[in-house]
């Protein structure tokens, strides 16, 4: 079983769920498209969704590249931390944006680790 691919697909599913939650907030707070403002709670849902997209741009390639050079279990483990971090980030941001720090760290740190792991792996392979 390719754990890394499962984590990548779960990250995409998580992003889709966040998108659906934005749509639900749009309906709940009666924000007509294409408006992106008008209710603080709706804006929080949108911001979580957009921040998740911003994180995915770094996370997904880093995950897949790191998996080429390092054991799948370790890379997938970092991916699990990312997924948990994104969930915590969303919960905190929707409730109180000032409390999003832990979720952000649990997203940012695994992504940074995966970027470095991919880079080190590629350099080692090139040098070796």
The tally of CA atoms less than 13 A away on the side-chain side of residue 57 is 5
Residue 1 has pLDDT above 80, yes or no: no
- 128: Cα separation from own chain's centroid: 33
For 89-125, how does the pLDDT look when each residue is reduced to its tens digit (9 = 90+)? 999 999 999 999 999 999 999 999 999 999 999 999 9
Lowest-confidence range among 1-5, 24-28, 66-70?
1-5
- Parent domain of 70: 3-127
Domains identified in the chain, total number = 1
CATH number at residue 103: 1.20.120.550
Can you tell me the distance from the alpha carbon of 99 to that of 91, in angstroms, rounded to the nearest whole number?
Answer: 9
What is the pTM assigned to this prediction?
0.95
For 32-88, how does the pLDDT look when each residue is reduced to its tens digit (9 = 90+)? 999 999 999 999 999 999 999 999 999 999 999 999 999 999 999 999 999 999 999
Structure tokens at 48: 């979580």
């Amino acid at each position: 079983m390719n754990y890394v691919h499962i984590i990548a697909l779960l990250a995409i599913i998580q992003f889709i769920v966040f998108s659906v939650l934005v749509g639900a907030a749009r309906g709940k707070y009666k924000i007509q498209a294409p408006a992106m403002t008008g209710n603080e709670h709706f804006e929080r849902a949108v911001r979580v969704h957009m921040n998740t997209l911003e994180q995915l741009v770094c996370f997904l390639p880093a995950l897949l590249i790191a998996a080429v050079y390092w054991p799948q279990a370790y890379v997938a483990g970092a991916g699990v931390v990312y997924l948990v971090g994104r969930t915590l980030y969303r919960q905190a941001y929707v409730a109180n944006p000032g409390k999003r720090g832990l979720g952000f760290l649990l997203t940012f740190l695994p992504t940074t680790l995966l970027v470095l792991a991919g880079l080190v792996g590629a350099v080692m392979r090139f040098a070796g």
